[in-house]
Amino acid sequence: MGGLCLAQSDDDASLSINSQQIAVEAMLEKARLALQKTDYEKAQDIVSSAIEIAKDSSLFASTQLVQAEYFLICNQLDLAELKLSDIEQLIPEKSDSQIRLYLLKSNLLIKNKKFIDADQTLNSAKILIQNSSNQELRALQLFLRAQLNLETKNLYETVNGFRNVIPLLQKQQLHFYESQATLGLAKAYFEKQELDEANAATNEALRISKNYGFITTELETYSLKSSIARAQGDYQKGLEYMDRYIELKESIDKNGDSGNALAIRNKENENLKVELAKKQKDLDRHDYTNILFFVLLTLLSLLTMSLFKNNKFRLRANKTLVVKNKSLIEERDRAQDAAKIKADFLSTITHELRTPMYAVTGLTHLLLENTPRSDQKEHLETLQSSGEYLLSLIDNILNFNKLEANKVELESIPFSLKKRIQDLTTSLESQSRDRNNQLQLEFDDAIPSRINGDPVKITQILINLIGNAIKFTQNGNIWIRANRVKQVDDRCLIRFEVEDNGKGISEEKQVAIFENFAQEESSTTREYGGTGLGLAIVKNLVELMQSDIKLDSKLGRGSIFSFDIWFDLPDSNKFYDDYQPVKSISKPKNTS
């Protein structure tokens, strides 16, 4: 009889353990479902109850795994990592619990962007799954593998992985992961710019999410649908989906969850209400005290409402700013592409135009040297003038294009500034006489005989300034000045001035005179010609040499353009001066 009683007692204990296991597993399944529906508070309560029931049994490790999964879904990654580390020693080797531990670790590593470690952990889980009959764990391992491929932009493997695992998740009734896999498939299609397939996948993800109440998946899906609609050019639809996203997010914030700051404030407020109610019962005979508590409660409620409205407004404003910022970035990129295309086109076309124009001007010059008839000579001179004008225009456009594209580099070679300016003045003498102008050079003898710099860029600046002065002066004088301002060790500061007594420039026009394609007025182009690029090129070149161009001008008085440039002095100046032929150069007087 005693043996029978003992056997009966063992059977009761076995039944008790089995019942406990069934109860705990049912509770853990409910906790997972609550997690997937973002009911974090309910999930936490269920997990806590399950832990209390199973704390002295072999099921304790399973409850800890679900709690780690709770931390993962709530994005409390540090707590999840700590929990997984604590329970690793409690898990039997080569068990389904160890597989689930590896899967949770892989998920954590993917979220922390540790993709190599995640890949190794998933491989370890795959080896254990081969000896397990648990199809649920196999489906979850394939889902996480596809998720890892998505994060590492392995899009071909991502699409195949999600398409293969979705039927397995559906068969195992893992509907949350089915919705996540469908959303992941949509993201992969979107990255591949297969927008129709991406849109179809998001519709399926929405259907599953709404059927089972997976709010987080539904929220992500609306955000993705907004991006897809904008990529298809349907900005109105994109805004509608973004509004749905904002409304759903506000609804989540309003209902609250354990991870939401507003919910925490509301919970604290509720606790305060309870505490105030208790105090009110104790002090119900003191009306004045009760009134103060009611006022305080009202103020707290108003404060909570104000904070909620502020958070709502801030969220909407942030979303709007994100959308506008993305649009501005896209517009900037398009503008940069257009500018590059324009620069490449101008560079190519000007180079192509120069070759035939050189042939035109060269042949015209040869024909003029062959003593043509008087009527032919007039036409040939017109042709030569037009060709030279076109060459000058092409050179200006090419130079301006190079400056705008930052493709101009400064040289630093020794040269004689005096000889450079004298040669320049001589070459422009004929052009000046055509306008009945007199060029006068004033060169400071204190300037060293040789300086280090870029003679081509200096010549280009002075040609544009002197050419402008000649063009806008009739029957007048033009002064070209170069003066040493100061010399420090082996560096010399030189001031350049180009002055004329022509028509001058009005004050209101001086602000825009250095802008691209700027002319004083429309009649200027008709009377004097030109593209308005000369002074823009001058300004860019002077700034390239770390200086500023200055203008002093009044109508009827003329204009003075000036700028200061620092030059290095070469060591060969003394040798050059000793062996330079002696020349007597008179300094013209100012006849203004």
User: What is the rounded (10 degree) CA torsion for 98, 100, 106, 112?
Assistant: -110
User: What is the rounded (10 degree) CA torsion for 518, 523, 529, 533?
Assistant: 0
How much is the pLDDT for 275? 44
Instruction: Examine the pLDDT at 396 and tell me if it is beyond 80.
Output: no
How much is the pLDDT for 457? 84
How confident is the model over 256-296, as pLDDT tens digits? 543 443 443 344 344 434 444 554 565 555 566 667 777 88
Q: How confident is the model at residue 98 (pLDDT cuts 50, 70, 90)?
A: confident
How much is the pLDDT for 245? 85
Q: Can you tell me the distance from the alpha carbon of 370 to that of 492, in angstroms, rounded to the nearest whole number?
A: 50
Radius of gyration of the chain (CA): 42
Instruction: Examine the pLDDT at 71 and tell me if it is beyond 50.
Output: yes
Q: Can you tell me the distance from the alpha carbon of 53 to that of 35, in angstroms, rounded to the nearest whole number?
A: 20
CA–CA distance from 310 to each of 108, 119, 262, 272 (Å)?
33, 43, 11, 22
Average pLDDT of 458-476?
88
Q: How confident is the model at residue 162 (pLDDT cuts 50, 70, 90)?
A: very high
Q: Is residue 45 part of a domain?
A: yes
The residue type found at 548 is D
Nearest to 324 by CA among 220, 435, 238, 433: 238
Q: Is residue 567 part of a domain?
A: yes
Which residue among 70, 102, 133 closes a domain?
A: 133
Q: Is the dihedral of CA 91, 94, 99, 102 positive or negative?
A: positive
How much is the pLDDT for 485? 93
Q: Tell me if residue 233 falls in helix, strand or coil.
A: coil
Highest mean pLDDT of the ranges 69-73, 145-149, 237-241: 145-149
Could you tell me where the DSSP H helices lie in 440-531?
Answer: 455-471, 507-510, 522-528
For 505-516, give one letter per residue: b (16+ CB within 10 A) or e: beeeebeebbee
Q: How confident is the model at residue 372 (pLDDT cuts 50, 70, 90)?
A: confident
Tokens of 21: 């296991």
What is the CB-side half-sphere exposure of residue 113 using CA atoms within 13 A? 1
Tokens of 265: 């404030």
How confident is the model over 188-225, as pLDDT tens digits? 999 999 999 999 999 999 999 888 888 888 888 988 99
Which residue among 133, 149, 176 closes a domain?
A: 133
Q: Give the long-range contacts of residues 356-359, CB within 8 A, separation 24 or more.
A: 357/387, 357/390, 357/391, 357/394, 358/391
Q: Can you tell me the distance from the alpha carbon of 277 to that of 122, in angstroms, rounded to the nearest whole number?
A: 54
**Number of residues assigned to the chain:** 592
Q: Is residue 305 part of a domain?
A: no
Q: Can you tell me the distance from the alpha carbon of 483 to that of 496, in angstroms, rounded to the nearest whole number?
A: 7
In sequence order, what are the beta bridge partners of 478?
439, 500
How confident is the model over 311-358, as pLDDT tens digits? 888 888 888 888 888 888 888 888 777 766 766 666 666 556 656 766
Instruction: Examine the pLDDT at 514 and tell me if it is beyond 60.
Output: yes
How much is the pLDDT for 261? 39
How much is the pLDDT for 566? 94
Q: Is residue 90 part of a domain?
A: yes
Q: Give the long-range contacts of residues 487-493, CB within 8 A, separation 24 or more.
A: 487/448, 487/569, 490/568, 490/569, 491/566, 491/567, 491/568, 491/569, 492/447, 492/448, 492/451, 492/566, 492/567, 492/569, 493/564, 493/565, 493/566, 493/567
Overall number of domains in the chain: 2
How much is the pLDDT for 585? 37
Q: Is residue 218 part of a domain?
A: no
Does 362 or 406 have the greater pLDDT score?
362
Q: Can you tell me the distance from the alpha carbon of 70 to that of 64, in angstroms, rounded to the nearest whole number?
A: 10
User: What is the rounded (10 degree) CA torsion for 36, 240, 181, 81?
Assistant: -50
How confident is the model over 22-58, as pLDDT tens digits? 665 566 566 666 655 556 566 666 666 666 665 555 5
Q: Can you tell me the distance from the alpha carbon of 72 to that of 91, in angstroms, rounded to the nearest whole number?
A: 19
Do 148 and 122 touch, CB atoms closer than 8 A?
Answer: yes
Q: Is residue 509 part of a domain?
A: yes
Say which range, 106-110, 272-276, 492-496, 507-511, has the weakest mean pLDDT.
272-276
Q: Is residue 188 part of a domain?
A: no
How much is the pLDDT for 404? 62
Q: What is the CATH number of the domain that holds 24?
A: 1.25.40.10
Do 189 and 197 touch, CB atoms closer than 8 A?
Answer: yes
Burial class from Cβ neighbours inside 10 Å (0-12, 13-18, 19+) for residue 248 reads middle
Q: Is residue 570 part of a domain?
A: yes
Q: Is the dihedral of CA 163, 168, 169, 171 positive or negative?
A: positive
Q: What is the pTM of this model?
A: 0.41
Instruction: Examine the pLDDT at 487 and tell me if it is beyond 50.
Output: yes
Q: What is the CATH number of the domain that holds 513?
A: 3.30.565.10
Which residue among 98, 133, 168 closes a domain?
A: 133
State which residues form the domain around 474: 413-578
Do 102 and 128 touch, CB atoms closer than 8 A?
Answer: yes
How much is the pLDDT for 21? 57
Q: How confident is the model at residue 548 (pLDDT cuts 50, 70, 90)?
A: very high
Q: Can you tell me the distance from the alpha carbon of 209 to that of 219, in angstroms, rounded to the nearest whole number?
A: 9
Specify the residue for token string 């630093």. Answer: 412
Say which range, 100-114, 308-322, 503-517, has the weakest mean pLDDT.
503-517
Please list, in sequence order, all residues whose beta carbon lies within 8 angstroms of the beta carbon of residue 379, skipping any fewer than 6 positions away.
none
CA–CA distance from 157 to each of 143, 147, 160, 309, 496 (Å)?
12, 10, 5, 44, 68
